[in-house]
Amino acid sequence: MILGCHVNFGIEQLLGCAKQATEYGANTFMFYTGAPQNTIRKPLDQNLILEAKTYMKEHQMDLSHVICHAPYIINLANKKDKNKWEFSIQFLKNEIDRCESMGITNIVLHPGSAVGLTHEEGIQNIIEALNFVLRKDQTCNILLETMAGKGTECGCNLEEIKQILDQVGKEHVGVCIDTCHLNDAGYSLKNFDSFLQQLDELIGLDSLKCVHLNDSKNECGTHKDRHENIGFGTIGFDVLLSILNHPKLKEVPFILETPYVGNNKEDKTRIYPPYRFEIMSLKNQTLNQNLYEDIVSFYKKD
């Protein structure tokens, strides 16, 4: 089982990420190279990359399972503002370079939002942009994430993802499915086998390189995109556990992006990471009903 979570790329960069993942009991992780909502990026420290690689070897973590997530302000779907669109393209190119210099092989990207354009126009812009971004000798794949269909998001069904892949090629582009997004987009995960079959027929299972494992606060088909802690949402623990343990997904990294929790249920400050306890639940194959309380009491001590 390859299971990890979102971690912070702080002052220790990749090394700090690997240490955090270890603390949570994870054997992989996903990170943004800076704040997810902006494009300010610090230069990479080569010594920290080397230290991270050594640390990961010692902790049986495989760099090829590690995922980078592009910042969500990158929008390849809309080129009404040409400068913004070109900035997104350039930023993504730089992000790929950054990943390659760390040895990271997969970067997750939200396909983009059409804002004011039709989905079809948005998708054509994404295809055009990706064809600018992709290099023949690239060692890092771009994984298109399946979206919830909030607002004007493109890529909220497998057909749209397939359309993009068909036009840009599968050599350097793959797919990341997000269980919360799939649910919110209208795919019932209670019948996950039939979903996987559909994915295999349309895109090919070999293109599936990452799963974001999240519960959802909303019912299937509501196009909301609000993640919930594992076992406390509408998808439920058993369904998520069966996806994690699916025999066809043994080689695929699973990443938790569930919400942080506050001091009590009403507290929205969200300061404590849930991952250590969610990973424990998933490994034990039993939902911890006291997840919330356990997280708070664990972190409040120090």
Task: Say whether residue 153 binds Fe ion (CB under 5 A).
Answer: no
Residue (207 or 296) nearer to Fe ion, CB: 207
Residue (15 or 177) nearer to Zn ion, CB: 177
Q: Which x/- pattern, by CB under 5 A, does the window 5-24 give for Fe ion?
A: --------------------
Q: From the list Fe ion, Zn ion, none, pick the one residue 225 interacts with, judged by a Cβ distance below 5 to 8 Å according to partner type.
A: Zn ion
* Site size toward Fe ion, by CB under 5 A: 3
CB of 214 to Fe ion, least distance (A): 7
Residue (177 or 296) nearer to Fe ion, CB: 177
The DSSP bridge partners found for residue 3 are: 254
Distance between CA atoms of residues 69 and 176, nearest Å: 11
**Residue 193 phi/psi, 5° resolution?**
-60, -40
Stretch that binds Zn ion, among 14-22, 31-39, 218-226, 279-287 (CB under 5 A): 218-226
Residue (162 or 226) nearer to Fe ion, CB: 226
- Residue of minimal Cβ distance to Zn ion: 225
Distance between CA atoms of residues 292 and 289, nearest Å: 8
SS3 readout for 133-181: HCCCCCCCEEEEECCCCCCCECCCCHHHHHHHHHHHCCCCEEEEEEHHH
Asked whether the beta carbons of 107 and 69 are under 8 A apart, the reply is yes
Distance between CA atoms of residues 210 and 10, nearest Å: 23
Task: Say whether residue 178 binds Fe ion (CB under 5 A).
Answer: yes
Task: Say whether residue 225 binds Fe ion (CB under 5 A).
Answer: no
Q: Which x/- pattern, by CB under 5 A, does the window 80-99 give for Fe ion?
A: --------------------
Distance between CA atoms of residues 152 and 92, nearest Å: 21
Please choose, from the candidates 137, 64, 139, 134, the residue with its C-alpha nearest in 3D space to the C-alpha of residue 101.
139
Task: Say whether residue 145 binds Zn ion (CB under 5 A).
Answer: no
Among 33, 225, 232, 239, contact with Zn ion (rule: CB under 5 A):
225
- Helix H or strand E encompassing 4: strand 3-6
Interaction site with Zn ion (CB under 5 A): 225
Interaction site with Fe ion (CB under 5 A): 145, 178, 212
